[in-house]
Structures are given as C-alpha cells and as structure tokens.
Structure 1
C-alpha cells in the first residue's frame, strides 16, 4: 500500500472523517424521499450535474433505490452502508469497502461461465445483505454461504434467506455467518468464492493465504474465484496456485440501469491449478487496471 507523509495524513484524516459523518445522514435522507423525487434525481441532465459534487456522488450509486429483485421477492438487499458503519475498528475501516448489492445479471453471467457447479459450495465474501447468495441459490450448489464483518447485515441476509427458503424450498440452503477474514472457515471439496470488491489488499492477502492453504492441504479439490470489480486482482494473478479462467466486461440488464453505479462491470474469474478445467476463454488474461480503491477496469 502507498504510504503518505505525516502532513498529508494529518490533513486527510479530519476531512475523511467529516465526509463520512456527513455522507450517511445524506444517504438516509435521500432514501426516504418519495420514489417520484428519486426518479427525477436520476434523470440524465440532473445526474450529470449532481454527480460532480463529491458529497452527492454516493447518492448516484443507484443502490439507494429499492432494487427490482427486492420488489420481486420481498427481500431487503438494497441500500448503501458506509464502511465506518460496517466496522467501528478504525484499523479496519480503511480496508473495508461500503456495502452495496451487486447486480443479479452480472452474477448470473459470471456464474454461467463456470459450467457445471453441481455439488460445489458457494461462498460470498463480504456478503452484506446477501443479494449474490439469493442469485446463487438459482444454481445447483450444495450450499450457499456468506461471511460478513457486520452482524447487522448478516441478520438481514439470514432474514432474506428465510424469505427465499419459504418461496423456493427446493433451492440450496442459504446461510450467512458473522466473521472477519481471520475467523473464516473455508469449506472443503469444490468451492466457488464470490466477491464484489469487499476490501483492500491487506485483507485480500489474508483471504488468499487461507484459500491457498486449503488447496495445498487437499481440503479444497477445485476452486473458482469470481471477482466483480477486481481492484485487488493482481494479488490473485501472483498466486502460483491460481490461473485465469475468464475476464470480461459484463453489462447490466436494462431493468438494472440506474440501480448501480455503472451500466457494466469488469469481472475476472480464477480457477485453481489443482483440479483445473480446460481453458475455455481466449481473452481471459486481459490486464486489470485499478483506478483507485473502489473501481477497476480491464484493458483491451
């Protein structure tokens, strides 16, 4: 990680703290506005102006609006939760990324590249309210697990799991667990790990070490890592136990436009060398360009 001078850090700290203190009440206020007002805020001319204002930029992530998947199922996966709300420990806050739900279309299109996942365990790292777990339950996984550092978000994810189990009793069970990376227990067998840019390089290194240990011991037979917005993807590229499976820019479905920060997202997928499937995607080795701690793109 880059190190800043003491002077820079001294000035940035209060500014960042002030920004965090102001942002969450603003987001809460916008979320309470009537839907007609929220729709007006997302009209292109208004959005183009307001998105240039730093404090308002988070409003235009789109995730404050109730997502179509929640309207469909009666679940609660919408909203934006700032990293300082996820974790009070100041040492971890700068490593965590805000919670927002990834787009179901992105998750489906990424999982569709994997082929047969029957019997695999799906794990969402930084699961938040559990939207990827809901989507993953459409597939023949043996079990759908999520881990998150926020006990509040885990409670919401498990409440959503109850809703889905009542509606679709034939789907694989969904369970969210309150844990940080240090406490995470990686299941054995065949595993699909999903991440939507949950944290920075230090926690990513700790997670990767756990996965590599599971592969080295033989506890994990075969592993896929699906990384939506792969800001720390270079760490996975450096692992001798992983190889690229897929790299691409996946578009939102038309009914998801305006419910996320973009209209497409970069997704890179790795598989383990152990138990590796034959390569299927020719452009899988596209270079990841991480613009900042929050976003990454793929070079052509």
Structure 2
C-alpha cells in the first residue's frame, strides 16, 4: 500500500522495484505464499522495506476467488492506475475489501430490494460480486483504470454464468467527473478509493441527484472512512451507522488488518427512522489509509 514519503534515489529505486516484486509474488503457487506468511518467516521479511507491501495480505489469492473462479485479488499501486501524477496523488492503491465487511455493512441497511448498488472505485469488482447476493436491481461499478474494469467485467461474466438469477454486474471506465448517477434508490459503496478533493466532487454529483429528484433515497456505505468529514458536512445527508466489523476467520491474513471501520450515511430525502444509537461516533483519521473511532 502507498503512503506519503519523500523523494530521492533510494525512494525512486524502491518504487521501481515494488510493483514487479508484487506481481512476481502474486504469481507464486498458493503453497509458497502460505509459507511466506508463516510467523517465523513473516517476522524476518516484513523488516525489509521493499518487502513490506507483500504482507498487506492482498497478494494472496482470496478465498472468494478460489470459491467462484474469479480474479479480485492483488494490490495495484496508485501510479499504475493513472498516468496523470496529480490525479494519481489523489488515488489510493487497489485492493479488494473483505466480503464479510461488505455483507455486515449491507445488512445494516434493511430492505434494499430494487436499489442500485454503485461501487465507486470498483477495481476488479469484489464488492459487486458480494452485492449480487442481495436483491439489488443492478450492481454497477466505476473505476478510472480500464484494465481493472476489464477484469471486473470478466468476473461479471463468470458470476452470470454461475448465478443467472442474481442481479447483473456491470463495470464502467470513468473518473468522478464522468459519473452518471442512477435514478431511483441507490446504495453507494466506497473502500477508501481516493482523497478529499475527488470525494467532494463525488458528493456534489450525489447531492445534485438528490436535489433534482433523480435519486429518491441514498445510502453511502464507506469502508475505512478516511474522508468522512466530506459527508458529515453535507446538509443532505445524515448518519445511519458507525461501527467496527471484524474479518471472518477465513479472511484473516488476506487484508492489512483483522477488522475495518465502516460508516453509513443516508439521505435526508426519503430518510428512514434512525436504527443505530452509536451512529455518530467520532472518527479520527490516523493517515491517508486508516481511521479509528472515538467513543
């Protein structure tokens, strides 16, 4: 995962080596990858700066991919997502969120029959695959990387063949400025895809949809809500839920943590009665990749 660092030859060399290394590790047999995560080996290798990204857990083939035959695993650096350096600085690396976190977050919403699920920064489409388990009308994703969108749509074909009765999955290549907001009831999903500037642009799009009546009711599900203040500052949104979800036992070791923080907002328009007492917990942003809750 990418963090803010200073430049220089040593940093440039590390950046040049990191992505090829990640790609090489991702192609290793699963048995070799499991060996690399054995505690004695992990304790040694994680001390080597260029190897630390290997231990994000995202490089291992995730159980959901083993189960469905899809490809949602891996870690893609933000500079590989976008050639424009200024825009890349706003992006976060691609990594798949944990299915358990997505399910538990969606379960807080109640009846979402007929809603459109909209994943912003969808990457390879893992949240859309999980969303297809629910009675959405459509699982729709947007991503700035054409390569990741192609993979997401290939995964959609796999899922459609295996589960033709499930809601359709479709990924589109677009940046925030090009997003088309669906009509009706919408659930937006975010897994810390980008920084506050782009998040504010997204909010502007969603608020315009609410003001015009295009969107009747809106939920925003934000996994790892680093830019939560953007949505907390909107007069058209109110908190629905805030909490910490643990990874499922089988997911531990396939992500950087063993839990994730999630906040959900709903629109004032069409608002449902508040259901969660601790929805207004204060969020502290530790860095551009992580958050914590206070009381």
- Normalised to the residue count of structure 1, the TM-score between the two structures is 0.93
Structure 2 CA distance for partners of 1:148 and 1:13, relative to 1, 3 Å? farther
Which of 22, 32, 39 is matched with 1:44 structurally? 39
Secondary structure at the aligned position of 1:296 is classed as strand
Secondary structure at the aligned position of 1:22 is classed as helix
Which of 285, 295, 298 is matched with 2:290 structurally? 295
Offset at residue 17 of structure 1 (A): 4.2
- Inter-partner Cα distance in structure 2 for 1:42 and 1:192: 36
Offset at residue 13 of structure 1 (A): 6.5
- Inter-partner Cα distance in structure 1 for 2:234 and 2:13: 38
Conserved? CA contact 2:30–2:61, under 8 Å = no
Query: What corresponds to 1:255 in structure 2?
Result: 250
- Tell me if 1:20 matches 2:15: yes
Which of 211, 215, 220 is matched with 1:220 structurally? 215
Secondary structure at the aligned position of 2:7 is classed as helix
Query: What corresponds to 1:239 in structure 2?
Result: 234
Query: What corresponds to 1:78 in structure 2?
Result: 73
Offset at residue 18 of structure 1 (A): 3.7
- Inter-partner Cα distance in structure 2 for 1:14 and 1:197: 29
Which of 123, 145, 154 is matched with 2:149 structurally? 154
Offset at residue 56 of structure 1 (A): 2.0
Secondary structure at the aligned position of 2:287 is classed as coil
- Inter-partner Cα distance in structure 1 for 2:241 and 2:48: 36
Q: Deviations over 1:162-192 (max 9, x none)?
A: 1101111111110000000000001111000
Structure 2 CA distance for partners of 1:40 and 1:203, relative to 1, 3 Å? same
Offset at residue 288 of structure 1 (A): 1.0
Which of 48, 61, 64 is matched with 1:66 structurally? 61
Query: Matches of residues 179-198 of structure 1 in structure 2 within 5 Å?
Result: 179-198=174-193
Secondary structure at the aligned position of 1:97 is classed as coil
Query: What corresponds to 1:103 in structure 2?
Result: 98
Offset at residue 218 of structure 1 (A): 1.3
Conserved? CA contact 1:197–1:294, under 8 Å = yes
- Inter-partner Cα distance in structure 1 for 2:10 and 2:231: 33
Offset at residue 15 of structure 1 (A): 5.6
- Tell me if 1:280 matches 2:255: no
Q: Deviations over 1:226-272 (max 9, x none)?
A: 00000101111111111111111101111111111111000111101
Secondary structure at the aligned position of 2:292 is classed as strand
Secondary structure at the aligned position of 1:135 is classed as helix
- Inter-partner Cα distance in structure 2 for 1:51 and 1:80: 17
- Inter-partner Cα distance in structure 2 for 1:273 and 1:18: 49
- Inter-partner Cα distance in structure 2 for 1:54 and 1:223: 42
Gaps of 5+ in 1: 1-7
Query: Which of 21-30 and 163-172 deviates more?
Result: 21-30
Query: Which of 46-55 and 25-34 deviates more?
Result: 46-55
The alignment covers a number of residue pairs equal to: 292
Offset at residue 14 of structure 1 (A): 5.8
Query: What corresponds to 1:112 in structure 2?
Result: 107
Query: Which of 135-144 and 21-30 deviates more?
Result: 21-30
- Tell me if 1:209 matches 2:204: yes
Conserved? CA contact 1:20–1:84, under 8 Å = no
RMSD between superposed Cα atoms in Å: 1.6
Q: Deviations over 1:78-124 (max 9, x none)?
A: 11111111111111111111101100000000000000000100000
